[in-house]
Structure 1
Amino acid sequence: MHPMLVSIDPLKPAQGQKGLMNRWHPDIPAVATVKQNDVFKLGSIEWTGGQIVNSDNADDVANVDLTQIHYLTGPIAVEGAEPGDALVVDILDIQYYEEAPWGYTGIFDMENGGLFAKEFRTKAAKAIWDFEGRFASSRHIPGIRFAGITHPGIIGTLPSQELLDTWNKREKALIDAHPGASPAVALPPIEKGTYIGQDISKEVFDKIAREGARTIPGREHGGNCDIKNLSIGSRVWLPVYVAGAGLAVGDLHFSQGDGEQSFCGAIEMSGVVTLKCSVVKQGVEKFALKQPIFLPSPIDPMYSQQLTFEGIGVGKWITHLKKLGYTIEQAHLLLSAAPVESHVGAVVDVPNACCTLSLPQQIFDRDILPNPDGIERRDYGQAALRSDGQRCFDPFEAKEKQ
């Protein structure tokens, strides 16, 4: 049995549980130390810390406290790791808890709504996904079943004080350049919601709360990369900035489409991660390791038959899913959660870059291809909405009515 270094109860809120953190700061002490090449396990709670529940309304998504997120497990010190080294992390396995065999995908209200918040004037919605082994299906998006590409949305090392100061200065300048932006262009340190699940002095905690970087974006150390192919079986090289490296991991996703388009857009879950770490001395210099490098998993599910939409905007694939019978909320959630492939095909042909989005045909229980007789429209119900019934604005439906 490989040791469980941090145990988490997925049925309880994150607040009060040991071994969790929701800020990046060099003064956060390690909760455990591992030897190189030892295999170990870490429990992880879903990114909001238990704020989202398995229900048929999205009031919890509408009322989520984003000052708390993300709840990460760690930091873990690796023996022999020093600043300038490369930390090599093998993601050996990720399993959901048997007592919590479900996850969710969400759409936030417009002020926190992410990529398409203004275009869709987003209102809170969610889909609950039930897990059966490696497969997921949802009562809120019928007609879909797929194998998950399970991965940590966040994996990274602690920053040095110098790097932390660089982040805060860089992101403050971005905020100052875009006052009042909604959604915000960056999130500065905030004391409200700061959580460090271990016994530390008030002086150290207050310093972390004042200075600690929020976990929303990816940065030089790794962090919130949300790359679906950095999954079970992957190996990642991370820069080391502090003694011991300070590895932290969390924001587990059962599955995700490229781009995580609804912001709360993967299938968020709690689970157990199995890892192994080693160190390459002076790896930052040897590999020119300014940001992480990773090898994709050799065991991700392969969906070879894909219906690919080419274009310069988001409209074609949304309208196709609506033709099948899905609502704007269901389409948005599905494209965030399913193993969708998104690519930039070409950037050289001004003024328009060519982008593609590919839907795996095999995840549907019906034929979704264009055919001469048109596309059969079915009634797929609706995602879980706010109890007041408010919906996202549907620009495609509005155009159809004009």
Structure 2
Amino acid sequence: MLKYKALSFVICTALSGAAQAENFPILKQITAQPGLLSEGAYQGHYYVPSTLDTIRWGYLPNKDAKPVLTVPSGSTVTFDTVSHEGLLEDQGRDAEKYFKSKGVKSQYILDEAKLISRSDLQHDFHKDGPHIVTGPVAIQGAEPGDVLKVEVIQIQPRVPYGVISNRHGKGTLVGEYPKHPAQADASPAHPERYGNVSVFTPIEKNAQGEYEGIIQTGSGKSIRFPLAPFMGLMGVAANTSEPVHSVPPSFYGGNIDINELGAGSTAYYPVHVPGALFYTGDSHFVQGDGEVALTALEGSARATLKLTLLKAGKDKIPGQSVQQPLAENAQFWITPGLDEDLDEAMKKSTREAIRFLNKEYGIEEELAYAYLSAATDFEVSQVVDKTKGIHAMIRKADFKEFQPQSKK
């Protein structure tokens, strides 16, 4: 009887939250075909929707991937991405049915999410990555040895809700959470048998006009927390014909899950194949460092990005070269370290930070190491994506004397 009461409460709070979530409209697909937009709010942008022709489920583009669009360097591209949360097998692989069970009306569920989840697109819940990856986009003139500069202009939630999930065998506390065991006969027809936990989380604007996530608790009180949207997955194609799993990030980027990469940030990726073949997905409305349960607050988002090619030997490249992802925002340079071992990820981030300071500012390596120890925070980006991530936050203001003096 107690179990029944608890379950009923969860359902009621989900319905209540969904009603709150419907106070503002969703961002529907602009057009079904990739291309240059000639009118509307995004006039002059290139546009990529998430359709069965422009996505792949669980894998990243490799060197053999065909671009869905080719753009010149310096182009602004708007991607309408679709989150995998609410579409996966342990949620029933039926986006409309899943979100309706949380009280969301059909018109507040993306048509693309309904189409993808009901399609015959093959996806193995246990083998394949969960992510719905949009792209790739080729950049004219990109060649191996070049660097792709990706400026994040804007990340907008497309729907007024997201999902936070914890799954068996994944997350920080494997074997402790989820508490309910998985059953051998779990299937999309019986998603509850997976034993996984997905927390439906509406978002709404507060009195200041800022988005907040809302988790309603068993006491009837709500946890409210600010959003900071970013794309968990951005990158370029690896130079391989082998399938590239979407979960572990690597030297080409991918599922790097660094929460600093919101609007106003810039990421740099080394180009490995002609055209670079850029892709994105796995949009996060907000993520804590570590992403400990497995996912952040994840939901479908519209990402507007500027893609600029930095040619080897011609254009200035931060740190003189980029052999793995590098990032910056107005305040910090960000050097990731990636490894299955968190200690090794820390070492790699530190080595890259030293190399960067040496090459960018001419600082002796021993002094760079000392500076990092005294004045730089190393943050855990995530520990749940097979390859773990740590990134250094190198404060730009500390290097004012190294900047070229402007002429009066």
TM-score, reference length from structure 2: 0.53
Aligned twin of 1:327: none
1:241–1:253 Cα change, 3 Å: same
Shift of 1:122: 4.4
Q: Which of these residues, 228, 231, 234, is aligned with residue 155 of structure 1?
A: 234
Q: State the Cα deviation string for residues 245-288 of structure 1 (Å, max 9, x = none).
A: 0001000000010011111x201111211010111112789733
- Unpaired runs of 5+ residues, structure 1, are 9-15, 162-207, 300-340, 345-402
Specify the alignment match of 1:330 in structure 2.
Answer: none
Asked if 1:6 is matched to 2:48, the reply is: yes
**Does 1:84 find its partner at 2:163?**
no
The correspondence for 2:172, drawn from 96, 115, 121, is 115
How does 1:155-234 map onto structure 2 within 5 Å?
155-161=234-240, 211-234=242-265
Change in CA separation of 1:228 and 1:130 when aligned onto 2, cut-off 3 Å? same
Shift of 1:342: 8.9
Q: In the aligned structure 2, how far is the partner of 1:72 from the partner of 1:285?
A: 28
Residue matched to 2:125: 65
2:175 is paired with a residue whose SS is: helix
Q: Determine what percentage of the aligned residue pairs are the same residue.
A: 28
Q: Deviations over 1:144-191 (max 9, x none)?
A: 212211111110000112xxxxxxxxxxxxxxxxxxxxxxxxxxxxxx
Counterpart residue type for residue 159 of structure 1: A
8 Å contact 1:49–1:69 — kept in the other structure? no
1:274 aligns with 2:331: no
TM-score (norm 1): 0.54
Segments of 5+ residues of structure 2 without an aligned counterpart are: 1-41, 92-97, 104-116, 118-122, 181-195, 206-210, 333-376, 381-408
Q: Any residues of structure 2 matched to 1:1-400 within 5 Å, and which?
A: 1-2=42-43, 3=45, 5-8=47-50, 17-22=52-57, 23-24=59-60, 25-48=62-85, 50-51=87-88, 52=91, 53-54=98-99, 55=101, 65-66=125-126, 67=128, 69-97=130-158, 100-109=159-168, 112-120=169-177, 122-123=179-180, 124-133=196-205, 134-140=211-217, 142-161=221-240, 211-263=242-294, 265-282=295-312, 287-296=320-329, 343=379
Aligned match of 1:187: none
Distance 1:223 1:343 in 2: 19
Superposition deviation, residue 18 in structure 1: 2.2
SS in structure 1 opposite 2:148? strand
Aligned equivalent of 2:208: none
Q: Deviations over 1:88-135 (max 9, x none)?
A: 0001111122xx3110101112xx323211244644222211122422
1:17 maps to a residue whose letter is L
Secondary structure at the residue paired with 1:136?
A: strand
Residues 258, 342 of structure 1: 8 Å contact kept = no
* Aligned pairs, number: 239
RMSD: 3.0
If asked which structure has higher relative contact order (CA below 8 Å, sep 6+), I would say: 1
The amino acid of 1:34's aligned partner reads V
**Given that residues 85 and 163 in structure 2 are in contact (C-alpha distance below 8 angstroms), is that contact kept between their aligned partners in structure 1?**
no
Alpha-carbon distance change, 120 to 101 in structure 1, aligned in 2, over 3 angstroms: closer
